Amino acid sequence: MDIKTNEHLQKVLIEHIAASENGIAVLDAKDQVIFYNQAFLNAFGLQNCPVYKQSYDDLLSWMFTTGVGMKAHTHKLEDWLAYIHSQYRSAPFRNYEVELVDGRWLLMTEQLNPDGEVVLVCNDITLFKRVELALQKAQIELARQAMTDELTGLPNRRHFMQQLDNECQRAHRYGHATSLAVIDIDHFKKINDGYGHLKGDDVLRHFAEVLTQQLRKNDVVGRLGGEEFALLLPETSQDSARAVIARLQQRLAGENLESIAPGFSYTFSAGVAECQSTPQFCCTDWIRTADEALYQAKAAGRNCVVVYGKA
């Protein structure tokens, strides 16, 4: 390559960089800006900032105090600078994404040259990022729908059974008393027949709310289907679980249900079973024993609680 060709190539490259839609900047070994193009200024909102010979920290501080450029995700400048320093110059070449305060996203490349210069190149990926985030949001929503009962917002049967299986294994591992209650709203068919299915849905939502409000932090409530619900009560003996259900009955008895229908009230029956310590005992057995206790509660006239093996 002769000198003229080399000079011409340099001219072409410089013109290309200056006019490029990709933001480009170069920092020297002391982290002072020695080159930038207009696209770099536009990308970070630095049009009114004296950029040339400014240090990297000065640029970051200016963006932070002015409210432009990179989104800091912290209220303290020193914390943000400390985070940037932990990543900056950490590899000879790296790619990373940057969220901007105005909602745009940039894909950054950072190249560390042998003599200490850093070349920064940024490319606007806002449209791609919005699609990515929308897909992630949709996936989260689909996962939520797959685990949630649409009417009540409670975990559905599938999700509840997964949690029940996990708790059964944990109870076997640590030998903790853990109880399960299966609950059925009494004479729910009569509610649907007498007041209509929309009012029946109101009753199901109301009961789900009562259950949710009364339970402790680690308790789990789910809708198994129809008018049948379940409560998982970790670290709880069957006698203590019976007391929990009794409090639920008292709470329900004191509810004002005029919004559903004048003079309306309803009750529930429950079967309680404690997780058995034998290794062969699984969550299917657990549900079965609680169901048997529930059947006995119904046979006893409903509106009562039966503990498995103590009827």
Confidence of residue 3 (pLDDT cuts 50, 70, 90): low
Q: If residue 263 lies in a helix (H) or strand (E), which one and from where to where?
A: none
Q: Give the pLDDT confidence score for residue 167 in this predicted structure.
A: 92
φ and ψ at 282, to 5 degrees? -120, 180
Check pLDDT > 70 for residue 4.
no
> Of 37, 7, 9, which Cα lies nearest the Cα of 21?
37
Q: Which of 66-70, 140-144, 200-204 has the lowest mean pLDDT?
A: 140-144
Catalytic residue among 227, 228, 235, 255: 227
Over range 58-69, report the average pLDDT: 94
Q: Which of 131-135, 139-143, 217-221 has the lowest mean pLDDT?
A: 139-143
Tell me the two tokens of residue 51.
């950029």
Q: Which CATH superfamily is domain 151-307 in?
A: Reverse transcriptase/Diguanylate cyclase domain (3.30.70.270)
Q: Which amino acid is at 197?
A: H
Report angle CA 311, 171, 169 to the nearest 5 degrees.
115
Is 141 one of the catalytic residues? no
Q: Give the pLDDT confidence score for residue 144 in this predicted structure.
A: 81
Residue 16 burial by CB count (10 A; 0-12/13-18/19+): exposed, middle or buried?
Answer: exposed
Burial 141-160 (b: 16+ CB within 10 A, else e): eeeeeebbbeebebbbbebb
Domain regions of the chain by residue span: 3-130, 151-307
Dist CA 242 CA 304 (whole Å): 10
Give me the CATH code for the 3-130 domain, please. 3.30.450.20
What does the pLDDT look like over 80-128, one tens digit per residue? 999 999 999 999 999 999 999 999 999 999 999 999 999 999 999 999 9
Are 167 and 219 spatial neighbours (Cβ–Cβ below 8 Å)? no
Over range 2-21, report the average pLDDT: 74
Q: Which of 8-12, 52-56, 193-197, 247-251 has the lowest mean pLDDT?
A: 8-12
pTM: 0.64
Q: What is the DSSP string of 128-176?
A: HHHHHHHHHHHHHHHHHHHHB-TTT-SB-HHHHHHHHHHHHHHHHHH--
150 CA to centre of own chain: 18
Q: Which of 39-43, 70-74, 141-145, 167-171 has the lowest mean pLDDT?
A: 141-145
Q: 151-307: same fold as 3-130?
A: no
Q: Give the pLDDT confidence score for residue 264 in this predicted structure.
A: 94
Q: Give the pLDDT confidence score for residue 226 in this predicted structure.
A: 93
